[in-house]
Structure 1
Amino acid sequence: MSAPATRAHLPRSRRRRPMRTLAKHAAAIVASAFALFPLLYVLSAALNPTGTLTGSNELFKSVGLDSFTRLVTSDQYPFLTWFKNSLIIGLTTAALSVFLGALAAYAFSRMRFVGRRPGLLGLVLVQMFPQLLAVVAIFILLTEIGEIFPAIGLNTHAGLISVYLGAALGVNTYLMYGFFNTVPKELDEAAMIDGAGHARVFFTIILRLVTPILAVVALLSFIATFNDFVIASVVLIDADQQTLAVGLYRMVSNPNYADWSAFAAGAVLAAIPVVALFLFLQRYIVGGLTAGAVK
């Protein structure tokens, strides 16, 4: 048997492999520190009982829950109401976005009708224009609608949800359309031979196979609506109707009376629903189409 090769006799690619691994680990550590530092800074500011950012450069120099207590028990700022409003609007928008987007994507993917290709092209072209261009139009439109149907007019959650649905329907439909096309049409044909219609095929077969994209769309819709500030600040006027993003901005809008520790505490609490939803949907996001078909 030949003696084991020494390091000098190893190929150059194998000798460089440990250095490449070390460089990758070093880059990962630097990137992680760069991403985690803002989070640690916000958490340190939230635990600062003084109510200011003075001394926050020293992380966790003083720790206390006074900021969270002031935030929850404040009579001036209804934080719990803002939090509840954001949850209701975010979850409702996410659920309706998934349902309506899936219906539209199934129609574009499985059915052939007049205007199908122009419709798909229109969905893409609409997404080219930023939402800020429609702020004035949205305000005027909701004002006029509110005079006829006050329940979905200005300063209502239903009106804000309608705006979010209209803005997200195009991109969500296009995302789902590409995923629906990967589902073999033979499954639909086999079910229709047995007497199933489009509705039964959609609810009993297709939705189970496209669970990953449904989870992704739900998560993106919830994050976008839960963190939105511009549209929510235009549509919602009363303090008890506003969302968390708008309410937190009000807390620091006046620099002379800004409670930055309470603001940071609110930001920390606002991240909890997003993280919780991501952890809940993680198994669906990482699940593949094949696994869904086997099940």
Structure 2
Amino acid sequence: MKPRHIATYIVLTVLTLSIVYPALWIVMSSFKAGNSLYSETLIPRAFTFDHYKELFTSTRYQYVTWYANTAKVAVLSALLGTLMTLLGSYAMARFRFAGRKFGLMGLLVLNMFPSFMSLVAIYILLLQFNLLNSHWALILVYSSGAFISNVFVAKGFYDTIPRSLDEAARVDGASHWIVFTRIMIPLSKQMLTYVSLIIFNGAWVDFIFARLILKTADKETLAVGLYDIVNQQTSTDFTFFAAGAVLLSIPVLVLFIWLQRFLVDGLTAGASKG
């Protein structure tokens, strides 16, 4: 084996361990008796499921409510964001209209800036419309942001579909709506799966916008609620936090494993044209 190959494997092994070890530590800590995350060994000397039971029985924290809020926001954001991306990218790819190039350029410029730069503007806008502390406000923020970040992937995918399909359907008397619903959408399964999962994952784990918009405990999502658990000055519920973090990761982990093939196909589908 060549020295450069050995060096590559060493670097990849170190990077893998640096990612896996902290996650494994949190998982093991969630089964550890007591409240402290500190442990002399990775594997706890005594295992317990008390922290997981407390997640659903605790009167101090509203974990079940946080979980339900997060699921609601993530699912609706994925549905609305995917619909917006589907319609917008299809229009950009298949139709020619005034302002199309300017719109694409504007979306490209917006992609250059991190989303948290708009925090102040979003806060003021939601305040003016009396939408603060509302899940629908959070859904609108996530879905509109997802459209900006995914429209070029989806448009690139539609650019790879031959226009001869559209033309053949039109010759047979199909309307634009028939072409879109019966030809384009079935062909977009991989791309739509990728976009939906990316939007869902972003909404599921987001902290910044959820912290900005949601103000009361009954409206909080998991990211905000778990942060509040360990942010309190007198809090020592670190193993409780670890158990909550493990349950937080399970839906996303299952979806990524289940839809892995669609993710790879969807990510590369729009790579050849833009």
Identity rate of aligned residues, in percent? 37
- The residue that corresponds to 1:13 in the other structure is none
- The residue that corresponds to 2:25 in the other structure is 41
Aligned residue type for 2:48: G
- The residue that corresponds to 2:83 in the other structure is 99
Structure 1 segment 1-295 matched on structure 2, within 5 A: 16=1, 28-55=12-39, 57-146=41-130, 153-287=131-265
Quote the Cα distance in structure 2 between the aligned partners of 1:132 and 1:29. Answer: 33
- The residue that corresponds to 1:5 in the other structure is none
Quote the Cα distance in structure 2 between the aligned partners of 1:154 and 1:101. Answer: 25
Preserved CA contact (<8 Å) 2:230 2:238: yes
Quote the Cα distance in structure 2 between the aligned partners of 1:110 and 1:99. Answer: 16
SS at match of 1:125: helix
Q: Per-residue deviation at 1:71?
A: 2.0
Quote the Cα distance in structure 2 between the aligned partners of 1:135 and 1:25. Answer: 41
Aligned residue type for 1:247: G
Pair 1:113–1:68, CA change in 2 (3 A): same
> What do residues 111-149 of structure 1 show as CA deviations (whole Å, max 9, x unaligned)?
010111111000011122222222122222112212xxx
Q: Per-residue deviation at 1:222?
A: 0.9
Preserved CA contact (<8 Å) 1:155 1:238: yes
TM-score scaled by length of structure 1: 0.84
Quote the Cα distance in structure 2 between the aligned partners of 1:21 and 1:165. Answer: 43
Unaligned runs of 5+ in 1: 1-15, 147-152, 291-295
Preserved CA contact (<8 Å) 1:44 1:56: no
Q: Per-residue deviation at 1:35?
A: 2.5
TM-score scaled by length of structure 2: 0.90
Preserved CA contact (<8 Å) 2:191 2:265: no
Preserved CA contact (<8 Å) 1:41 1:56: no
Preserved CA contact (<8 Å) 2:77 2:203: yes
Larger Rg: 1
| The 10-residue stretch of structure 1 (72-81 or 46-55) with the greater mean CA deviation from structure 2 | 46-55
> What do residues 78-97 of structure 1 show as CA deviations (whole Å, max 9, x unaligned)?
10110111111111111111
Quote the Cα distance in structure 2 between the aligned partners of 1:158 and 1:115. Answer: 30
Quote the Cα distance in structure 1 between the aligned partners of 2:170 and 2:13. Answer: 54
Q: Per-residue deviation at 1:252?
A: 0.7
- The residue that corresponds to 2:272 in the other structure is none
Preserved CA contact (<8 Å) 2:143 2:199: no
Q: Per-residue deviation at 1:56?
A: 5.5
- The residue that corresponds to 1:10 in the other structure is none
SS at match of 2:132: coil
Quote the Cα distance in structure 1 between the aligned partners of 2:88 and 2:221. Answer: 29
> What do residues 4-54 of structure 1 show as CA deviations (whole Å, max 9, x unaligned)?
xxxxxxxxxxxx57x877766655544433322111101111111201123
What's the RMSD between the two structures over aligned residues? 2.1
> What do residues 139-161 of structure 1 show as CA deviations (whole Å, max 9, x unaligned)?
22112212xxxxxx111111111
Q: Per-residue deviation at 1:165?
A: 1.7
Pair 1:56–1:264, CA change in 2 (3 A): farther
SS at match of 1:82: helix
Quote the Cα distance in structure 1 between the aligned partners of 2:227 and 2:149. Answer: 28
Aligned residue type for 1:144: Q
Preserved CA contact (<8 Å) 1:51 1:259: yes
Pair 1:279–1:158, CA change in 2 (3 A): same
Preserved CA contact (<8 Å) 2:81 2:144: no
> What do residues 172-207 of structure 1 show as CA deviations (whole Å, max 9, x unaligned)?
112211111011111111111111122111111112
Quote the Cα distance in structure 1 between the aligned partners of 2:35 and 2:208. Answer: 27
